[in-house]
Amino acid sequence: METATPRRVEHQQTDKGSVPVYTTAIVEQPWDSYSAADHDTWARLFTRQLGLLQGRACQEFLDALDGLEMAADKIPKFSDINALLAPATGWTLIGVEGLLPELDFFVHLANRRFPVTWWIRRPDQIDYIAEPDLFHDLFGHVPLLFNPVFADYMQAYGRGGIKAHGVGEEALQALTRLYWYTVEFGLINSADGLRIYGAGIMSSKGESIYSLESDAPNRIGFDLERIMRTRYRIDTYQKTYFVIDDFEQLFAATRPDFTPIYAALTEQPAVAAGDVLDSDRVVHRGSGEGWAQDGDV
Ligand SMILES: [Fe+2]
């Protein structure tokens, strides 16, 4: 596959306002160009999250992280991870500049290629960065690609995305919500209680505690159509987390053709991020404390 030269393009002024502009091509991870500060940022984030996630992340994630030989001392090389990941589940990591156009992203997933942003946040962005960086993509997402069922779910999601792209805007929106509430912000039941599997939580110091331990958010049993109707937050912690019983449940839910589901969804109103419905399987009804009043997307 063709690769482009890595460059970090910061926000640029365009006719759509100030937006990050990236090449969508695959880039070779410029590992030798990481500075001491970059490796230090990785070390601080890695050490902090590893400590926080004991007893909070699902066991599948922690076990995979162990086997991955990711360590605090330096930013991992994608090629080293691929040497373990490809034989395990057939996935490979590819380096990218940042978020990809939807269809490109889906095509990669459908081919078991996971795009990982090559650059890491600056030291002053340790606690929060709006766009996904190397720490989010690599630490948050990659360990679960070692789980065979989750690995299949991700591929099925990519295939579903390609299909939804042909159906239209509302189908894509429904699918984006599914990704958000599972791959990014999902919780899972375990014999020892609720655990995290979503990458957006895994890579966030604050949310890895808040999602499990705060009274404020709702925790609701996984329901595909319910999730596809539910708006979400991009600027604050989630108001609602959806809980799966196991990864099988997730994969099984993506098995049917979504086309009739998309059609049925157009008849139903969207659900606000914090709303609880009568039909919900409520694990915890959120107190709503500290919620912003508007801003759901
Ligand atoms: Fe992500």
Give pLDDT tens digits for 223-265.
999 999 999 988 889 999 999 999 999 999 988 999 999 999 9
Ligand 1 center–CA 240 separation, angstroms: 18
Domain count for the chain, please give it: 1
Which of 10-19, 195-204, 288-297 holds the top average pLDDT? 195-204
Burial label for 85, CB within 10 Å (0-12, 13-18, 19+), is buried
- Any idea what the CATH number is for the domain that residue 37 is in? 1.10.800.10
DSSP 118-177: -----GGGSS--SS--HIIIIIIIGGGGGSHHHHHHHHHHHHHHHHHHHH-HHHHHHHHH
Q: How far is the CA of 180 from the centre of ligand 1 (A)?
A: 8
Catalytic residue among 203, 204, 208, 211: 203
List 184, 204, 208, 211, catalytic entry: 184
Separation of 133 CA from ligand 1 center, angstroms? 9
Catalytic one of 141, 204, 208, 211: 141
Q: Is residue 73 part of a domain?
A: yes
For residue 38, tell me if it sits in a domain.
yes
The count of other CB atoms within 10 Å of the CB of residue 89 is: 20
DSSP string computed for 24-60: -SEE---GGG--HHHHHHHHHHHHHHHHHHTTTB-HH
Given this model, what pLDDT does residue 11 score? Answer: 57
Contact 109, 155 (CB under 8 A): yes
Catalytic residue among 60, 97, 108, 136: 136
* Domain annotation covers residue 11: yes
Q: Does residue 297 lie in a domain region?
A: no
Q: How far apart are CA 209 and CA 281, in angstroms?
A: 22
Does residue 108 have an active-site annotation? no
Whether 293 is covered by a domain: the verdict is no
Strand order in the sheet with 218-221: 195-196, 187-188, 240-244, 218-221, 282-284
Band of residue 122 on the pLDDT scale cut at 50, 70, 90: very high
Q: Which residue has the higher pLDDT, 202 or 295?
A: 202
- 131 Cα: distance to centroid of ligand 1 (angstroms): 9
Closest CA relative to residue 136, chosen from 160, 119, 111: 119
Q: State the average pLDDT for the chain.
A: 92
Residue 57 pairs with which residues in a beta bridge? 196
**Which residues span the domain enclosing 50?**
3-284
Q: How far apart are alpha carbons 35 and 74 in whole angstroms?
A: 10
Q: What integer pLDDT is reported at residue 131 of this predicted model?
A: 84
**196 phi and psi angles, rounded to 5 deg:** -90, 140
User: Residue 162 and residue 296: Cα distance in Å, rounded?
Assistant: 25
pLDDT, mean of residues 60-69: 91
Mapping DSSP to helix (H, G, I), strand (E, B) and coil, where does residue 235 land? coil
How sure is the predictor about 129, in pLDDT bands with cuts at 50, 70 and 90? confident
The string of DSSP letters for 174-209 reads HHHHHHIIIIIT-EE--TTS-EE--HHHHT-HHHHH
Centre of ligand 1 from the C-alpha of residue 278, in Å:
31
Q: pLDDT of 204-218, one tens digit each? A: 999 999 999 999 999
DSSP reduced 3-state for 106: helix
Instruction: State pLDDT tens for residues 70-92.
Output: 889 999 999 999 999 999 999 99
Residue 292 placed within a domain: no
- Return the pLDDT at 295: 81
**Banded pLDDT at 18 (limits 50, 70, 90):** low
CA of 116 to the centre of ligand 1 (A): 9
| Whether 184 is catalytic | yes
Give yes or no: 203 in active site: yes
Q: What is d(CA 201, CA 61) in angstroms, rounded to the nearest whole number? A: 12
pLDDT at 1: 65
The answer to the question of residue 155 being in a domain is yes
**Distance, CA 12 to ligand 1 centroid (Å)?**
22
Task: Determine phi and psi for 250, rounding to 5 degrees.
Answer: -65, -50
CB atoms within 5 A of ion ligand 1 belong to 132, 199
Residue 229 lies inside a defined structural domain of this protein = yes
Is 131 among the catalytic positions? no
With a pLDDT cut of 90, the percent of the chain lying above it is 79
Q: What is the structure's pLDDT at 101?
A: 86
pLDDT of residue 296: 87
Q: How many CB atoms lie within 10 A of CB 45?
A: 22
